[in-house]
Structures are given as structure tokens and as C-alpha cells.
Amino acid sequence: MNIGVFASGRGSNFQAILNAIQRGILPARVTLLLSNKSDAGALEIARSNGIPTIHLSQKQFPDEESFAAKMLNVLRGHDVHLIALAGYLKKIPTVVVRAYRNKILNIHPALLPLFGGPGMYGHHVHEAVIASGMKVSGATVHLVDEEYDRGLIVLQRSVPVEEHDTAETLAAKVLTIEHEIYPQAIKAFVENRVLIKERSVWIH
């Protein structure tokens, strides 16, 4: 199965996906790394692994329609079957969500449906968790639909929030489990072990 990874930043989750492929754990290929940021670290990781890259941003297009058409074109041109968002901070155009229904995954650094939605990214998430007094946080892999962080949940794992935790220490703990559960969730899709039924996701 061919995977297209979308990333806006450093790309440590992208690297975790590549590691799983290289270790033979994840039977897939990454055929495209798409970034809306020309200076994203993820682009560098792709280049050094010989993976095709594209810098694609809404700003390069007069409207969403032409942007979305180009995105679909690029995805088809690289024969992408599954899209993995890995720190991609932009909304996926509706026509792309429709064309890849149940085939777009995202990783979020909290236990959705808590601490998700517009503005809830990066350190904002962990600061909100600490401020709430919650004793547990974690990471969530979910399907992407038309709204931010609202698609069906595929896989979650929790981490304790300890007395001494700051947003930075919590982010580091959560990131470690992100790197474990994202390749696991993608593997389930690649191996066709996912059943989506009545707004539930079953992995067998």
C-alpha cells in the first residue's frame, strides 16, 4: 500500500512511520511527502530517504477549488492509497476528504474528544491539559472528516499527568507514545484489519 504523508513541521511522526517500514514492521511505501511549509523539517527527512516531496500551499492558488484539484492530482500522480497527517496544520479540502473517505488518518497529542478542535495544536494542547488538572492525557489516532479532530477514533493510549509535569515534559511523554501508536494504527489499515461500522472502528 502506498502512503502519502502530510506534514507542516519537524516530522518526528513521519520518521517513526519510516522507521517502522525500514524495520519491516509496516508493509507499505511512502510515495509522497506533502508540506504546506517550504522549510519543514519533514521535507528534509523525505529528501534524505529518496521520497518524492511537494510544497503545496493554498497561498499558491486563487481559490480552494483549484488548490484541492491540484492536491488530488498530486495524490493520484503518486498513486497514494492512504494519507497520514503527521503534524499537518491545515484543513484538508472537502473534495479530498470525500475522495479519500476513511483513508485519511491524523495523530493528535491528547485524548480526543477532549482538547481538540481549532487552535488546539502543539503546546496549546498540553498547556490546556495541565491547566485543567486532568490526571491523564495521551495520544489519539483518528480518521479525518470535514471537521478538525472530530473523525472516528481508531486508537488511543494514555499517559499519566504527574504533579511535576509542565507542558514541555508532558509533550515529550505524549510524543513517545505517538511514535508507537501511529505506525501501529497505519499497519492495521495497510493489513486491512480495520472495520468501520455504525460510527465505530474495529481493529482485528
Contacts to ligand GRF by CB under 6 A:
7, 9-13, 86-87, 107-109, 175, 178
Strand order in the sheet with 104-108: 53-55, 29-35, 2-6, 82-85, 104-108, 136-143, 153-160
Q: Write the DSSP assignment of 36-61 as a string of letters.
A: S-TT-HHHHHHHHTT--EEE--GGGS
Q: Could you tell me which residues are beta bridge partners of residue 203?
A: 194
> Quick one: 5 or 80, whose CB is closer to ligand GRF?
5
Residue closest to 57 by CA, chosen among 66, 65, 47, 67: 67
> Quick one: 4 or 87, whose CB is closer to ligand GRF?
87
DSSP state, residue 58: G
Distance CA 30, CA 86 (A): 13
What amino acid occupies position 8?
S
> Quick one: 104 or 107, whose CB is closer to ligand GRF?
107
Shortest distance (Å) from residue 204 CB to ligand GRF: 25
Shortest distance (Å) from residue 110 CB to ligand GRF: 8
- Collapse the DSSP code of 139 into the 3-class scheme (helix H, G, I; strand E, B; otherwise coil) and give the result: strand
Catalytic status, residue 81: no
Active-site entry in 78, 108, 142, 179: 108
> Quick one: 123 or 135, whose CB is closer to ligand GRF?
123
Shortest distance (Å) from residue 88 CB to ligand GRF: 7
Residue of closest CB approach to ligand GRF? 87
Shortest distance (Å) from residue 191 CB to ligand GRF: 23
Which of the residues are catalytic? 108
